[in-house]
């Protein structure tokens, strides 16, 4: 038997991602996470304090990874929306985790990394507008909200495709 704290934490986190994404916080079962990780339940409390502590860590890691994986391209918001769409298709867990989190904890309590990335993205859009790379008929915050929201269209409608997401962002950016 190999004893490795970091490895055990990793396996617990990996199992927790699946469990929480599928069942949410209230629906997740601590015993199931431990079993699927091939670890002992007590380790969860040793390493993450509580079920909620484990969820917080899971969400943080997933949000960080998603933010890093899809950097904004302010001069090509349609492409950015498409890449977000792709990311969510490949890693639907992060969207589900965020949705559970918002439903269970209200609209406040946004992960810190998300808030920080938000500021940066708004600034990038504002700059692109000044350079004339983007139209001005939406504020930077508005544009970011619209693009991000449209990129998750596929999780609200079954008929939505990547192409539709890109085309609609494109249409939003057309000059008037």
Per-residue x/- track, 51-90, DNA (CB under 7 A) = xx--------------------------------------
Residue 35 interacts with which of a copy of itself, DNA, none, CB < 5 to 8 Å by class: none
Per-residue x/- track, 109-148, DNA (CB under 7 A) = ----------------------------------------
Interface with DNA, residue 10, by CB under 7 A = no
Helix pair 77-90, 92-105: axis angle to 10 deg: 90
Using alpha carbons, list the distances in angstroms from residue 23 to 57, 64, 154.
16, 21, 20
From 1, 2, 26, 42, residue interacting with a copy of itself (rule: CB under 8 A): 26
Per-residue x/- track, 93-132, a copy of itself (CB under 8 A) = ---x--xx--xx--x-------------------------
**Residue number, 83 or 96, with CB nearest to a copy of itself:** 96
- Please name the residues in contact with 58: beta carbons below 8 A apart, sequence gap of 6 or more: 13, 16, 17, 20, 97
Give which of 112, 130, 122, 119 is closest to 77, Cα–Cα: 122
Interface with DNA, residue 35, by CB under 7 A = no
CA angle 104, 97, 144 (to 5 degrees): 95
Helix pair 5-27, 51-69: axis angle to 10 deg: 100
**Residue number, 20 or 88, with CB nearest to DNA:** 20
Chain positions contacting a copy of itself, by CB under 8 A: 23-27, 96, 99-100, 103-104, 107, 137-138, 141-142, 145-146, 148-150, 152-153, 155-160, 164, 167-168, 171-172, 174, 176
């Amino acid at each position: 038997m190999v004893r490795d704290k970091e490895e055990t934490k990793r396996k617990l986190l990996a199992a927790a991602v699946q469990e929480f994404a599928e069942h949410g916080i209230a629906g997740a079962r601590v015993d199931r996470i431990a079993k699927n990780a091939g670890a002992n339940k007590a380790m969860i409390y040793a390493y993450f304090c509580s079920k909620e502590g484990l969820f917080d860590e899971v969400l943080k890691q997933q949000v960080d990874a998603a933010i890093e994986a899809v950097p904004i391209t302010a001069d090509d918001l349609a492409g950015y929306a498409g890449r977000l769409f792709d990311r969510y298709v490949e890693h639907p867990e992060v969207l589900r985790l965020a949705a559970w989190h918002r439903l269970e904890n209200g609209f406040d309590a946004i992960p810190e990394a998300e808030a920080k990335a938000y500021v940066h993205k708004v600034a990038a859009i504002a700059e692109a507008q000044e350079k004339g790379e983007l139209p001005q008929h939406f504020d930077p915050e508005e544009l970011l909200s619209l693009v991000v929201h449209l990129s998750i269209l596929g999780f609200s409608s079954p008929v939505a495709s990547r192409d539709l997401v890109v085309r609609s962002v494109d249409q939003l950016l057309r000059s008037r």
